[in-house]
Structure 1
């Protein structure tokens, strides 16, 4: 299946790195373009399907309201429309973000589509903070998985009455560290949770099969593949907002993506921060991982 590249340069779901600055993830799509990502996918038959530009970053969190909440919801609706259009043309969407708040836009798109869809959440953190387990909800990029399965405030978890975007039983997470505060909760709720340490112990092939047993079973019409690049070890990928030791190697992530991508409907890539990559070397490394790991995106759908 041909890949349709969609840039989504958002930083709306992250807290500011300093009081007078904004997160750098909005620069990721163009940094990866400069590193050759778009050119190399297009050389393989892909199409550039433009950008969905977010509203202005405001850092306006308040009790019961996420920072940039209105802008996140507005962007999610427009991103969903672009994903719909790309899929309508017979392409597999590959959304280049941006931060993890993009997941609600993908969720809206798939809930509006016929059928029932699973979610693969590849991330160095479970991103499962929500009002039921924390009083600190403010940044959707650390709460996106909880929102995707319907556990967050309705403003983000039930956009246009479409929540939950993915059933917990149809959702698999992989890549968190063993000390993740929501590991026990997600393990009890989701279809599968495979921490990074277990991926290394079991091997990529076995971990991928555990995930596919959840999202590629009878009754589902494909899955969405979410990638936060902080699943990688900081020694490999330090250019993220929340690096944690114990992550995957570049080869492990490439292999995991290659095993999961062929049966996926589409995918998104998040949280790469070019501000933390002054010489562009991490953008080039990430380009290699994505081009090889996602080359067969959607081919077995």
Structure 2
């Protein structure tokens, strides 16, 4: 378990304020997540702290861009160290900009890796489809497959971090603005509505057909908890109706985690969970969902 309490990829929730996702690892610790994983044999491997948050976006430059790149390099090093010890890294974030660090780590490694992107949004805003690029947490999947500015999509000449054909997205809503583009480009896209209509086993089959096939050496599992419906998980940056329920997400994670080489959890915001009830609910999803992470890899 690696704590990565970053909020660098998000826009400020209000003027002069900062996003609360940097508090997520410790809020989840208070909710018992770390203890429960430790009881199942997990080991803690420290914290990768982010740089100072600054609302400094300008044309052609992401908000906190230099700090995001620096953090991605350090997170990549920690992921590499965990994998070198024969362990499956579980990164507890933090916002979705963490995907860049995971991508750098896997591109440095021998082999070819796929990506499972579980998220309530496609996170596919990029300079080719928008003039509003500013916050990497809403643009992480585009960066991961090489469609963003080289400063974040080609760190140290390693981009694209994942081939689009080796990438599966699941969980976006039917009205996602990039649904058509991602469906045409990625290996598969499975909306939340389709998961609910056809069931978790069928969604799992569609995903694994893309990321767990000959020619790939494993896949990284990215989770943005806004894949959950806001009635279940309102403590996120961009809640949208039509998401999964807690049982559906736990079952989906449990089906995907055993063959993943690592995973990350992002976008839970304790500032929006004053009584800690959503942190406890999230722990109840993540423990059964991810306790077998990497066991079959």
TM-score where L is the length of structure 2: 1.00
Hey, what's the Cα distance between the residues in 2 that align with 1:139 and 1:45? 36
Determine the structure 2 residue equivalent to 1:120: 116
Determine the structure 1 residue equivalent to 2:104: 108
Q: 1:20 deviation in Å?
A: 1.2
Determine the structure 1 residue equivalent to 2:244: 248
Q: 1:58 deviation in Å?
A: 0.7
Determine the structure 1 residue equivalent to 2:139: 143
Hey, what's the Cα distance between the residues in 2 that align with 1:62 and 1:46? 41
Determine the structure 2 residue equivalent to 1:274: 270
Within 5 A, what are the aligned runs for 1:1-301? 5-301=1-297
Hey, what's the Cα distance between the residues in 1 that align with 2:281 and 2:110? 36
Hey, what's the Cα distance between the residues in 1 that align with 2:291 and 2:209? 22
Q: 1:15 deviation in Å?
A: 0.2
Q: What secondary structure is seen at the aligned counterpart in 2 of 1:90?
A: coil
Q: CA RMSD in A?
A: 0.3
Hey, what's the Cα distance between the residues in 2 that align with 1:29 and 1:143? 22
Deviations 1:209-251 (A, max 9, x none): 1000000000000000000000000000000010000000000
TM-score where L is the length of structure 1: 0.98
Q: 1:176 deviation in Å?
A: 0.1
Number of residue pairs matched by the alignment: 297
Hey, what's the Cα distance between the residues in 2 that align with 1:209 and 1:34? 35
Q: What secondary structure is seen at the aligned counterpart in 1 of 2:44?
A: strand
In structure 1, stretches of 5+ residues that fail to align are: none
Hey, what's the Cα distance between the residues in 2 that align with 1:76 and 1:271? 17
In structure 2, stretches of 5+ residues that fail to align are: none
Hey, what's the Cα distance between the residues in 1 that align with 2:258 and 2:40? 15
Deviations 1:62-94 (A, max 9, x none): 100000000000000000000000001111000
Hey, what's the Cα distance between the residues in 2 that align with 1:56 and 1:224? 27
Hey, what's the Cα distance between the residues in 2 that align with 1:74 and 1:189? 29
